[in-house]
Copies of this chain bind each other. A is one copy, B any other.
């Protein structure tokens, strides 16, 4: 099983998932495609998100991937079921792993979820949580100011604290959640600030870590993990400008990466 793991995202957020995949599965090769040209997906209409996602999937299928990771909460919310039905390889999204981990961690079964407006409106997390345990109380909240702030490089300090504090205030004030799901792949970069605002008693769940774990579970179960020893050669593609992607990737990932070419997606 020496084929690569395919990872798609609307932009750079999925790099937090890629980073965890590289850490937890250091022998596996990744092919990552970020649709930075058309990012963000969050505010787009459903039909457009579905079309763009399929274009990314077709690009990666031509690279002979053995499993597809949809490392974008918005794309997962709108396309996962469809992709699972139609693709001949396993497809893992970021929502179920985050939900399952929260259920494992929570003691009082009051769970908070934050994400983009698209993800929160889709109600994908409450559905995933309550499908497993209908007595779970979910408090979800869109945080539209987080992604632009993270992409502009503001991850900590007084400015970040102010934005995070103001955004999370409704969640912090009136509920008694003991677990908070970061339902957007950008948010782990604000993790320390979010933890500080929410308080130490709230456990923070990062979709990225949990998704990498479930990719490992499914591939182990299906005997798709690479068996030998190798230093993997990852490939990163972007639909946008290579320089911009590289500069963000160099900050977000622990290791320098090659960005092979500017990916051209076929618009049907």
Contact = CB atoms under 8 A, between A and B. Distances in A.
A193 to B, nearest CB: 21
Contacts of A227: 131
A101 interface: yes
A62 interface: no
Interface residues of A, number: 29
Given A101-B213, A209-B104, A212-B104, A26 B133 contact: yes
Interface stretch (A162-170, A214-222, A240-248): A214-222
A216 B100 contact: yes
Interface in A203-233: 209, 212-214, 216-218, 220-221, 225, 227, 229
Interface string A179-219: 00000000000000000000000000000010011101110
Contacts of A25: 132-133
Interface in A82-138: 90, 92, 96-97, 100-101, 103-104, 131-135
- Mostly helix, strand, loop or mixed at chain A's interface? helix
Copies in the complex: 2
A217 B220 contact: no
A212 B132 CA distance: 13
Contacts of A218: 217-218, 221
A137 B79 CA distance: 40
24 contacts: A24-B104, A24-B133, A25-B132, A25-B133, A26-B133, A26-B135, A27-B132, A27-B133, A27-B134, A90-B221, A96-B220, A97-B217, A100-B213, A100-B217, A101-B213, A104-B209, A104-B213, A131-B225, A132-B216, A132-B220, A132-B225, A134-B229, A214-B217, A218-B218
State the 8 A-B residue pairs at the shortest beta-carbon distance, nearest first.
A104-B213, A217-B217, A100-B216, A26-B133, A214-B217, A24-B103, A96-B220, A24-B104
Interface of A: 24-27, 90, 92, 96-97, 100-101, 103-104, 131-135, 209, 212-214, 216-218, 220-221, 225, 227, 229
Given A100-B216, A132-B220, 17 more contacts: A24-B100, A24-B132, A24-B133, A25-B132, A25-B133, A27-B133, A27-B134, A92-B221, A96-B217, A96-B220, A97-B217, A100-B217, A103-B216, A104-B209, A134-B229, A217-B218, A218-B218
